[in-house]
Structure 1
Amino acid sequence: MSNRVCFKKGYLKLMGVKFLGKQEHPTRFSMCVRFKTTSSQYVASRFRDPTFEKLMDNYKNLVKVIAIQDLILANPKNPSVSIDFLSKLSQKLHLNRGATAFLRKFPHIFHIYYDPSKLKPFCRLTDAALDISRQEAETINASLPVVVERLVRILSMSASRMVPLRAVFKVWRELGLPDDFEDSVISANSGVFQLCDAHEPNTHLLKLVDGVFSNGFRAAVEDWRVVECCKEDCSVDRMEMQFSFKHRYPPGMRLTKNFRAKVKEWQRSPYAGPYEVTGEKKKSKTGMMATEKRAVSIVHEFLSLTVEKMVEVEKISQFRRWFGIDLNIRDLFLDHPGIFYLSTKGKTHTVFLREAYERGCLIEPNPVYDARRRLLDLVVLGRRGLPAVNSKLQDTSSCNEVEQEGNQQRHELPS
């Protein structure tokens, strides 16, 4: 039997969990374990939160919009991209109905026009979308000291104080890094960061320079505990609060009395925080629970450092080995639904920090999030706000206008 299975069984036996092949009831939550089920079945059996699912319905279109926006802004002298080029990338960008159909769904973001010099249609951003892009860039550049601290914190959670540079590239947008962060953040702070070669070819490691102070950080969950303990109506014992995490379950999730008792026991169990140096991992029941709780604290802190308190599971998995997490991160999110929420919308697995959201919005927004939220609002707006014309007729007339303009330009060109 593998160490992973032994660990999981030992921990869940301690928690008093029955080993079930499938979920007992779709509206009744019970900690079910998938030893005879596939990974996809385990994900499908989770309790769905309609608020996060609705948010991800819009986000999956936002991801495609951002991908096209980046292509348009890649050429600063002439920020535009040809429709032909986007059509070739339709499959890669997951534009199921083609590039043109997708662009016309968001007229508040994209504008299609005909370039007579190149004899083909192009796409550019609208003034509103350009203004949002400039606002986001300005707020990121204004918050460079905060960005530097985020990187230092991430490196401090690694026992070796280093992570692969390619992993940072995966989450540069989530961390609010500028496009040129290699120069504006890493190279500009050579007294803090250092790039060194890895054992793999064409791979670099981002490392904290020796002597950089990084042991005095306090995790976000610790700040929450201080606030909770200082409340006048706080009825929780301070010793119990010492190792607790905030739990917020979605409406409609029924928690059994036994499950509540096990969560309360888990909350009281001690562990090492994300910035603390850990010793050798113990194989006892208490040691296994502490190992899992430390993994929860690390991913909780990582999500707290992101701009939107969310990240794709595949991206955060790039840091798993460097953070010393021996567990399957996706299982970790599914096993703690009161702390995290896992969504599968948009053909990706995205995890949210549940406590950071209220009704689909961040409780404590930041300037970068505000700019991105404005773009999401334009995505949600869709075609609304335009003249009340039948959408199919509008599509046809728009297509004909581009074609007629192109034909007219061709006839006017000298032979």
Structure 2
Amino acid sequence: MQFPTNQNNSKSPAEMGEEQLLRPLIDVQTDLKAACLLKDAIARFSTGYLPSKSLENTQKLLGITVPTLRFIRRFPTLFHEFPHPKWPSLARFELTHVAKLLRQQEMKVFDECQTDLVERLCLLLTMSKSQMIPLQSIHPLKWDFGLPDDFDKNLVKRFPDHFQIVKGTNGLACLKLVQWREEFAVSELQKSNEKRGLESDNGADGRNAYKYREFKRGKSALEFAMSFPRGYGAQKKVKAWMEEFQKLPYISPYEDSRRIDPNSELVEKRVVGVLHEFLSLTIYKKTKRNYLRSLREELILPHRFTRLFTRYPGIFYLSLKCKTTTVALREGYRRGRLAERHPIA
């Protein structure tokens, strides 16, 4: 398929307008995520406080645009600052009473959503080629998947029939899926198309059951929801390309992709399906592009898969806010807000 280009704009279609939609959300969540990471770090310390020296060189890790010490001092409601007991010239930070109460509420929500979080993690592992992923690639995704700080210990301990820690071929510690029922491995695109099919064909149970089986087998040309930047989607070339792409058979991200001809156009639709499903599994329907890059081999993605985010601006959009590249699922948002809010969100 020949993808149409927009020669009248200096920016790519995916950059036209979406930055304004995501900017407030990314700003707020960047600060919120950093504050939560600091809160968890303090909670892990046996002393109950975090020395200021430990905050050195953490700015990049937290994803913030200001020095960490300046950042943590912006939130006196969450963090108390005191002189260090041994070195009075240095500062230490403790959680305030309010922060402790919020942490208790957070733990309660994690417990209430435990089944959902386990399923999301299982689906992520099911998508991987060997049904296991290095822990170092999952830890950065804790915020995006709504996982508790100690998921690699508590979830494995609570659900030994689902997860186990193993050593990968590269020597890295990996989270491995022990067992998963195949009938649960149905993508969000399949679910949404089935839901629309049931609504439009209410009463025809036999036909819908057949359609659902076809969805799972990947034989139907399931359509991705698309919403283009203003004026772009109305172009004739774009419409023709969109219709051609939508007619290609859909390959579930949970199916073995090795049977697909590597030179076939189905490969690209399969990759788009994997990226769509991955973002659908996240709490905020978005993630950092670098996090996806670290999963390239596990998800069987091509070397230059990130170009698909600008190649399919009707499905994805990018933000360059906060000195990082964030990719989001367009259908996950309505007027710059999450279309469906998860309890953890």
Please report how far the alpha carbon of residue 132 of structure 1 lies from its aligned counterpart in structure 2 after TM superposition. 2.8
1:245 deviation in Å?
0.6
Aligned to 2:301: 325
Q: 1:92 to 1:161 in 2, by over 3 A?
A: closer
Provide the rounded CA distance (Å) in 2 between the counterparts of 1:47 and 1:180. Answer: 39
Q: What is the aligned counterpart of 1:82 among 21, 28, 51?
A: 51
1:24 corresponds in structure 2 to: 7
Pairwise CA distance, 1:233:
11
| Separation (CA, whole Å) in 1 of partners of 2:247 and 2:57 | 55
Give the conservation status (yes or no) of the 8 Å contact 1:271–1:291: no
Q: Secondary structure at the match of 1:342?
A: strand
Contact 1:195 1:204 in 2 (8 A): yes
User: Deviation per CA, 1:5-46, whole angstroms, max 9, x where unpaired?
Assistant: xxxxxxxxx23646xxxx62228966xxxxxxxxxxxxxx83
Q: Read off the aligned partner of 1:105 and give its amino acid letter.
A: R
1:65 aligns with 2:35: yes
Residue 311 of structure 1 deviates from its aligned partner by 1.2
Matched, 1:356 2:332: yes
SS at match of 1:195: strand
Per-residue deviation at 1:154?
Answer: 1.5
Q: 1:233 to 1:250 in 2, by over 3 A?
A: farther
Contact 2:232 2:238 in 1 (8 A): no
Partner of residue 271 from structure 1, selected from 238, 245, 250: 250
CA distance in 1, matches of 2:53, 2:21: 37
**What do residues 290-326 of structure 1 show as CA deviations (whole Å, max 9, x unaligned)?**
1111111111111111122211111122222122222
Alpha carbons of structure 1 residues 59 and 208: separation in structure 2 relative to 1, 3 Å: closer
The higher radius of gyration belongs to 1
Counterpart-to-counterpart distance in 2, 1:179 and 1:137:
10
Q: Find the partner of 2:75 among 101, 106, 118.
A: 106
The question of 1:227 aligning with 2:195 is answered: yes
Q: TM-score, length-normalised on structure 1?
A: 0.69
Distance 1:329 1:342 in 2: 14
Letter in 1 for 2:186: R
Of residues 197, 205, 214, the one that matches 2:174 is: 205
Structure 2 counterpart of 1:136, one-letter code: E
Give the counterpart letter for 2:9 in structure 1. P
1:66-106 Cα deviation digits (max 9, x unpaired): 3433332222652x323454356557657666445433433
Instruction: State the Cα deviation string for residues 246-301 of structure 1 (Å, max 9, x = none).
Output: 112344656411111211111111131112233433255xx22x111111111111
Q: Point out the more displaced range, 248-257 or 347-356.
A: 248-257
* Unaligned stretches of 5+ residues in structure 2: 203-210
Contact preservation (8 Å) 1:249, 1:338: yes
Taking structure 1 as reference, are residues 77 and 361 closer, same or farther at Cα in structure 2, changes over 3 Å only? farther
**Letter in structure 2 aligned against 1:207:** K
Could you give the per-residue CA deviations for residues 174-228 of structure 1, whole angstroms, max 9, x where no partner exists?
A: 2222222222212332222233322223x1233233x642344221112221333
> What percent of counterpart residues are identical?
28
Task: Name the counterpart of 1:261.
Answer: 240
Deviation at 1:60, TM superposition (A): 3.3
Superposition pairs of residues 2-401 of structure 1, within 5 angstroms: 14-15=1-2, 17=4, 24-26=7-9, 46-49=15-18, 50-75=20-45, 78=48, 80-86=49-55, 89=58, 98-114=67-83, 119=88, 120-201=90-171, 203-209=172-178, 212-231=180-199, 242-251=221-230, 253=232, 255-283=234-262, 287-288=264-265, 290-369=266-345
What amino acid is the match of 1:15? Q
**8 Å CA contact 2:130, 2:298 repeated in 1:** yes
Contact 1:28 1:254 in 2 (8 A): no
TM-score, normalised to structure 2, is: 0.81
Contact 2:279–2:286 (Cα < 8 Å) also in 1: yes
Deviations 1:85-131 (A, max 9, x none): 43565576576664454334334443434467753543334444433
**1:241–1:135: structure 2 CA closer, same or farther, 3 Å change rule?**
farther
Mean alpha-carbon deviation: is it higher for 61-70 or for 318-327? 61-70
Indicate the larger mover: 351-360 or 130-139.
130-139
Counterpart of 2:50 in structure 1: which amino acid? V
Question: What secondary structure, in the 3-state scheme, does the structure 2 residue paired with 1:275 have?
Answer: coil
The alpha carbon displacement at 1:47 in A equals 2.4
For 1:63 and 1:213, locate their aligned partners in 2 and report how far apart those are by CA, in whole Å: 33
Query: For the aligned residues, what is the CA RMSD?
Result: 3.3
Contact 1:342 1:349 survives alignment (8 Å)? yes
Q: CA deviation at 1:61?
A: 3.1
The question of whether the paired residues in 2 share the 8 Å contact of 1:198 and 1:205 is answered with: yes
Cα 1:191/1:100, change in 2 over 3 Å: closer
8 Å Cα contact 1:225/1:241 also seen in 2: no
* More displaced 10-residue stretch of structure 1: 62-71 or 359-368: 62-71
